[in-house]
Structure 1
Amino acid sequence: MNSSIALDLREATAPAAPATRAAAGRIADDKAMLRAAAEIARDLHKARPLVYWADTLASVVIGYGALALAIMLSSPGLALLAGLVAVLALYRAGSFIHEITHMKHSNVPGYRLGWNLLVGVPLMVPSFMYEGVHNLHHARTRYGTVEDPEYLPLALMKPWSLPLFVLIAALAPVGLLIRYALLAPLSLVVPALRKPVVERYSGLVINPSFRRRPAEGAARTQWLWQEAATSVWAIALIGLTVAGIIPLRAFAIFLVVIGTITVINQVRTLVAHLWENEGEAMTVTAQYLDSVNVPPPALLPALWAPVGLRYHALHHLLPSVPYHNLGIAHRRLTAMVEQDSPYHKASYKGLPGLVSQLAKSTMGVRR
């Protein structure tokens, strides 16, 4: 679902540090770092199917089991605790959509199908909403530009844009139900509706200017069956609730869990980059420095940035390395590069400091 803020949130000028921000895209590539990254990752590109399946299935079992408990338990305290476990486990399961976008599917046979049946369709975020979109964010000449579906210069926007950016994510469950229970079937009988549905409401993006192109070939086949399955699920969910077969309380808890997952992911997105580029093309090193790693010893990032997302900056250097090898890659690179290497400059301690830094940037406070 297009969760972008379709408002004019840009500041005309960032008064405190215009020179630094203007130069962000012109940072020269650090060839030593790029060579080191390529060298240490030569044996790290192969995905391990057992890891993917075990991690996903464990997250799914725990997540749906905890969701069932949250619905059935009469004690508010215990139900809340079960709901929290459901949110964290299903958030982890859902985060594998990022891996699906980057993986060579023949290396993990059947995984995309299994993930969509277990996670994508039930949570109304089938993988077609990310495949064919997220890869544009990694395109060398698109990152940080108006053609990047996953970039907004948030650091240059008005201060109130940040809480709005997060709070709007809470509406995602309603938006997803509208997308699949209403717009998808309507677009089959109203051809004029199909174009905006495809362009604006078929991608997990944050850039309101982005318009998606229709998929072709095998990607179109994937899109159609996933969309159809999710539409049937959304219609059934609403219909069974209206008929009283699914209790309204259960339906509400399910939507609250999805909404909470979306809000957490939106907060993670908020600190995945520094968001300081104003639209010019950036070098690979500049893209890396505009991105964020939150490596160990911090523990909480394992919860709010799971499935390798805590190494987001490193992922921009090595997008084809599977999540289970990113920790190894980070340790190798940390030991290999010099102390003054740009590689160390993308590592941060945790969420509070990153949010504070971004908030200060929107208020024109120099870091």
Structure 2
Amino acid sequence: MTVHDPIIASASGNRKAIPDDATMLRAAAELTREYSKADPAIYWPDMLASALVGYAGLATAILADSTVLALASGLVAMLALYRAASFIHELTHIRKGALPGFRLAWNLMVGIPLMIPSFMYEGVHTQHHARTRYGTADDPEYLPLALMKPWSLPLFIIVASLAPVGLILRYAVLTPLGIIVPPLRRMVREQYSALSINPAYRRRAPEGEFRRQWFWQEAGACLFALMLVASPLFLGWKPLLIYMAVHSSMTVINQLRTLVAHLWENDGDAMTVTAQYLDSVNVPPPSPLAAIWAPVGLRYHALHHLLPSVPYHALGKAHARLMATLDEQSPYRGGNYAGMWPLVGKIARSTMVKR
């Protein structure tokens, strides 16, 4: 499904050389006006059902006597909670007042119990969309993975598998200690308070209303992490270990999804919007599994970089409209790929090229 346009291919690895395509950008802007409204009748049932199915699966996995039932329930829990957690991406783009109460409900049901409250993504992800930041050293969500050493890819996934351990340490240990050790508190805020992949990224102190949101979300995650640490004293080790296995598996899938969300070929210079699009990835239908490993519209990640304000439930319609409107030579088709594993292979092969 990939379009190998010779102009696009020759610019691979030199993304800054790709000029903006006015026709594609104009068509995308028109769709933004048409599809920009978030529908509460879709958001609320989707998020609530995903969370409830996830926790039901988690409870069944913990209580099951059968290994087969426990594994099957754990798989259901992982996939459903992964979908529920993916709404954190939508929270960063939803216009203020569009979905009253949704942020609060998501944090109480998903963000705090998974120790990924929305403050860890809000104010971070929008920098990834900044025109002059994307793909540069100031982008918290970008690393030139395709230009790095081959061992960087497995390390990228292994680190993700340790996420629940890191989150427990962050909230059950570092948060309480930070209250009495101000320098530690600053370090935690700067280096361990963002869902980012750029290790050089440093977060600024929150201000205003966001500071108040940060406070109660962090306090809730801290209390939950402390309960997790204490849970073996009252419930034994099984619930905690199953929770961590589900959480780890969920994070690994998300990291794989992140790995193929971009081609990671930029060398640090600012890029045009079209170049940013072509460094990003759509996995549209008929790919049968993309809706599972890239839920809540994440299968249209390249399109999302053109239409960041369009809600997830409208991205499929927007994609179909652009495919029907733009001609065969449009750069838009160069952002469409067939599935996860061909993309993993493409990035892995790129890391093996001597530079």
Q: In 2, distance between residues paired with 1:170 and 1:220?
A: 30
Alignment counterpart, residue 240 of structure 1, candidates 211, 227, 231: 231
Map of 1:96 onto structure 2: 87
1:77 paired with 2:80, answer no
Matched position secondary structure for 1:316 = helix
Q: Once the two structures are superposed, what CA deviation does each residue of 1:22-48 show, in whole Å capped at 9, x if it has no partner?
A: 521221000000001111232210101
Alignment counterpart, residue 124 of structure 1, candidates 115, 130, 133: 115
Q: Once the two structures are superposed, what CA deviation does each residue of 1:175-194 show, in whole Å capped at 9, x if it has no partner?
A: 00000000001101001101
Map of 1:177 onto structure 2: 168
Q: In 1, distance between residues paired with 2:86 and 2:142?
A: 19
Q: In 1, distance between residues paired with 2:319 and 2:13?
A: 29
Matched position secondary structure for 2:162 = helix
Map of 2:309 onto structure 1: 320
Map of 1:157 onto structure 2: 148
Q: In 2, distance between residues paired with 1:161 and 1:26?
A: 26
Are the aligned partners of 1:105 and 1:112 in contact in 2 as well (CA < 8 Å)?
no
1:35 paired with 2:26, answer yes
Map of 1:12 onto structure 2: none
Structure 2: give runs of 5+ residues left out of the alignment: 1-8
Q: Aligned ranges for residues 1-367 of structure 1 at < 5 Å?
A: 20-241=11-232, 243=233, 245-364=234-353
Q: In 2, distance between residues paired with 1:64 and 1:147?
A: 37
Q: In 2, distance between residues paired with 1:51 and 1:247?
A: 39
Shift of the alpha carbon at 1:240?
2.7
Q: Once the two structures are superposed, what CA deviation does each residue of 1:135-189 show, in whole Å capped at 9, x if it has no partner?
A: 0000000000000000000000100110110011111000000000000011010
Q: In 2, distance between residues paired with 1:348 and 1:22?
A: 18
Are the aligned partners of 1:293 and 1:314 in contact in 2 as well (CA < 8 Å)?
yes
Shift of the alpha carbon at 1:74?
1.1
Are the aligned partners of 2:11 and 2:17 in contact in 1 as well (CA < 8 Å)?
no
Shift of the alpha carbon at 1:268?
0.4
Q: Once the two structures are superposed, what CA deviation does each residue of 1:313-334 show, in whole Å capped at 9, x if it has no partner?
A: 0000000000000001001111
Map of 2:3 onto structure 1: none
Matched position secondary structure for 2:235 = coil
Q: Once the two structures are superposed, what CA deviation does each residue of 1:223-276 show, in whole Å capped at 9, x if it has no partner?
A: 0000001101111221232x2x12211110001111111100000000000000
Are the aligned partners of 2:136 and 2:268 in contact in 1 as well (CA < 8 Å)?
yes
- Residue identity matched to 1:151: Y
Shift of the alpha carbon at 1:365?
8.3
Q: In 2, distance between residues paired with 1:193 and 1:75?
A: 45
How many residues align? The count is 347
Q: In 2, distance between residues paired with 1:300 and 1:105?
A: 32
- Give identity over the alignment, percent: 61
Are the aligned partners of 1:148 and 1:210 in contact in 2 as well (CA < 8 Å)?
yes
Are the aligned partners of 2:20 and 2:272 in contact in 1 as well (CA < 8 Å)?
yes
Shift of the alpha carbon at 1:211?
0.4
Structure 1: give runs of 5+ residues left out of the alignment: 1-17
- Residue identity matched to 1:63: G
Q: In 2, distance between residues paired with 1:23 and 1:351?
A: 23
Q: In 2, distance between residues paired with 1:316 and 1:94?
A: 20
Q: In 2, distance between residues paired with 1:33 and 1:23?
A: 20
Shift of the alpha carbon at 1:54?
0.2
- Residue identity matched to 1:334: M
Matched position secondary structure for 1:169 = helix
Are the aligned partners of 1:33 and 1:337 in contact in 2 as well (CA < 8 Å)?
yes
> Cα gap change, 1:333/1:19 in structure 2, threshold over 3 Å: closer, same or farther?
closer
Matched position secondary structure for 1:42 = helix
> Cα gap change, 1:178/1:30 in structure 2, threshold over 3 Å: closer, same or farther?
same
